[in-house]
Structure 1
Amino acid sequence: GALYAERTCERYGIQKDGRLAGCLPSENCVSSSAIKSPAQFDAPWLFSPATRDADRAFEELVKAAQASPDLKIAETDPARRYLRATAPSQISNYKATDVDDVEVLISAEKGLVFHRSASRESVFFFPPQNIYSVPLGDNGSNRGRLEALRKALGWESTNPRPEDEADLPSSYQALKFG
């Protein structure tokens, strides 16, 4: 039988620098703060073209998260315009019983929406040697979940990528090294 190893990592919340966390190479994760890891980076969004009001945009975000069948809101901080929700993990060829953390932070000053979706549990085919070990892929579920939320809100990405535009699967994400 195959040998699997699991590693659990709970990293969420607004960091000391006021941003959301980036992604470790050993995480199934997508973040607008993962600027050092192109395969895990997703550009910040622009909130609602209909309004430039960050508080109203946050209200729209909460409603969209409540309407999403996969998301369960874990915490909201309207003063900081921060939302964290959880969603079921999807790890390829492995029955995951864990959750992913989905975070969104709206910056009124920058007019941008920062976001992150990360699996708490990473599964490795062999025991991981170090933090640079690459986990089994999530079949693009973290990226897809964020993309579905962005589209439901009608918000735009600041840097649409060709593979996002074509809606191609990003399951090869874990195999890319940047």
Structure 2
Amino acid sequence: MVPFSLTAAHGSIHASTKQVGCQPLASKGLNHTEQQAGEFRSSRRLVLLLGIASASSLQRPASATPYKEAENIQYGLSNGNIRPCPGGYNPNCVSTASLNDLYSPVWRSSLTSIATSAQVLDSAVMQSSDKAQIVIKRSMPNAEYLEYEVPGLFGRDFMEFLIKADKGAGGAGEENSEGAIVLYRSIAGNVKYLYPFQTAISDFGAQRKRLEAIRQTLGWRKLGCDLKECFE
């Protein structure tokens, strides 16, 4: 639409300028100075119209809006660790790697074996939802990584777990006598925004509640907490 209007406007102005130039000066009573002023005004108007039309036809460059960022949520480990929550555009998340209100404490497994802890955790996740599906299961030296897809309020949610030996363990390769530690992240796979604002709609703490239910099923405690409430 814009190129058509631009051509029409350009042609109209060009024709108008041409007609003025073809009329005898005597018929308009113009002297040489007035003729130059008229041509200048016509040329200036043409430049302005061309500039406006050209600006309107330019496409706005893509920017990193929350909508775009929410479409590219990153999953998996980052340098061997659980990722923090991208709270800037997806607050429906909890992670042991976050440093704000989206943080959740590490769990301590009641089992010393990392592999056995992963198996027990897998059973608890599957029991938490009949539609839970495992996406990735990867064994690493002294660690197990599990990723699940579960139904969420806005579509799919993803839970990631990293079970590994505590750094306070004895020698290399030895299993911690106090039990393996469990790092995790639970995040909504889809983000809904309150139109026209760029404010994400809350899932009312669904991620934290789901994880807490799994932890209570396992009977594992929160790391760094020795009170009775740590098990409840």
TM-score (norm 1): 0.72
Cα distance change, pair 24–56 in 1 and its aligned pair in 2 (3 A): same
Q: Is the 8 A contact 1:89 1:100 kept in 2?
A: yes
CA distance in 2, matches of 1:117, 1:82: 14
Partner of 1:87: 150
SS of the residue corresponding to residue 59 of structure 1 reads: helix
- Of 186, 205, 210, the residue aligned with 1:145 is 210
**Structure 1 gap segments, 5+ residues each:** 91-95, 168-178
- Of 61, 70, 93, the residue aligned with 2:121 is 61
Q: Is the 8 A contact 1:82 1:106 kept in 2?
A: yes
After the TM superposition, which residues 134-173 of structure 1 pair with which residues of structure 2 at under 5 Å, given as runs? 134-159=199-224
Q: What displacement does 1:52 show?
A: 1.5
2:168 is the counterpart of 1:99 = no
2:78 is the counterpart of 1:15 = yes
Partner of 1:121: 190
Q: What displacement does 1:63 show?
A: 1.8
Output the aligned Cα RMSD: 2.3
Partner of 1:71: 132
SS of the residue corresponding to residue 184 of structure 2 reads: strand
TM-score (norm 2): 0.56
Q: How many residues align?
A: 144
Q: What displacement does 1:159 show?
A: 4.9
SS of the residue corresponding to residue 122 of structure 1 reads: coil
**4+ aligned runs moved over 6 Å, structure 1:** none
**Structure 2 gap segments, 5+ residues each:** 1-65, 168-179
Give, as a single letter, the amino acid of the residue that structure 1 aligns with 2:186.
Answer: S
CA distance in 2, matches of 1:150, 1:66: 13
Residue identity over aligned pairs, in percent, reads: 27
